[in-house]
Structure 1
Amino acid sequence: MAMQSHGDSDDVMSEINVTPLVDVMLVLLVVFIVTAPLLTNAIHVNLPKTDETAPPEIKEAVNVSVDNQGKVFIDKREITLESVEPELKSLKANDPDLSLHLHADQGVNYGIVAKVMASIERAGISKLAVLTNVQ
């Protein structure tokens, strides 16, 4: 018998058989499901009992504000531009870990804000946050 060639049998099959891939993925899923609870290395210990302690006191930051007319405020108290540095130095003397929030109106002259920031730096305050609105 001679071998007969059918015209369609010589074509390359271009379809992917996904059944073995699904089988492998299911096996991996089962392996992960079984081993996941075993991966927690929790060591059970009996912790000692103590009295409750108060949480550390959270210090409020001092607000320095510059309005649209160039007036400077420290915690809603109006001060002159020249007295910003001495006021901040006295606050820093009372609280060495002092932090500031600087609020400046968008219509204020940049030079005034720069002078306030320079006064803050000369007062020795390193914790400064410049607050803005997020759009």
Structure 2
Amino acid sequence: MAMSAGPGEDGAPMSDINTTPLVDVMLVLLIIFLITVPVVIQTVPMEIPKVAFEPTTTKPENVSLSIKASPSGECEVYWGLTRVNAQELLDRAVAKLRLEIDKQGGPTAAGIELPEAHIRGDVKTPYRCIGGAVFTMQRAGFARVGFISEPPAGYRTERL
């Protein structure tokens, strides 16, 4: 007999599990992830300094800035993927900080965790561009402003 539709000949219930629906669902999820990952990972193209330091923890509330110089020498600052000028950067930073403080119960709440600003600076960017962005973020109220770098080739970090 090739297939059993009900209880076996001896009256015992069938104990085989049909895995076809599970495989179908897993294949659909795999396709969804393969399509969405390249969409989520979008960055401004630039060459980051090769410096090894401690790994950073990315949190959704942190601000990601990308800074590079245009061929004409003008500073280009990107909030995520959106290009902003100095005033827009200050306005967005103040609004982001106020939003995060309000989410955590207001300025008088205990144990407020403020977001951080992470700066990715191109190697060929003049200091005035990066320094200006750091100053603007500190002026907006960000206490922690850090830099994102890329470790040199072959570098391994070890966890303690």
| Structure 1 length-normalised TM | 0.53
1:126 alignment partner in structure 2? 143
Of structures 1 and 2, the one scoring higher in RCO (CA 8 A, sep 6+) is: 2
**1:110 and 2:115 are equivalent in the alignment:** no
**1:75 and 2:80 are equivalent in the alignment:** yes
1:4-30, Cα deviation, whole Å (9 max, x unpaired)? xxxxxxxxxxxxxxxxxxxxxxxxxxx
1:94 alignment partner in structure 2? 99
Query: What is the CA RMSD across the aligned residues, in angstroms?
Result: 1.6
Q: Give the greater-gyration-radius structure (CA).
A: 1
Q: How many residues align?
A: 78
Identity %: 13
2:76 & 2:95 partners in 1: Cα distance? 20
2:139 & 2:126 partners in 1: Cα distance? 21
The residue correspondences of 1:1-135 to structure 2 (distance < 5 A) are 59-60=59-60, 61-69=62-70, 70-96=75-101, 97-135=114-152
1:112 & 1:62 partners in 2: Cα distance? 17
**1:92 aligns to what SS in structure 2?**
helix
How far did residue 125 of structure 1 move?
A: 0.4
Cα gap change, 1:59 to 1:131, in 2 (>3 Å):
closer
Q: Which runs of 5+ in 2 are unaligned?
A: 1-57, 102-113, 153-160
**Structure 1 consecutive aligned stretches of length 4 or more whose deviation exceeds 4 Å:** none
For 1:103, the aligned partner's letter is: R
CA contact (8 A) 2:138 2:145 kept: no
CA contact (8 A) 2:89 2:136 kept: yes
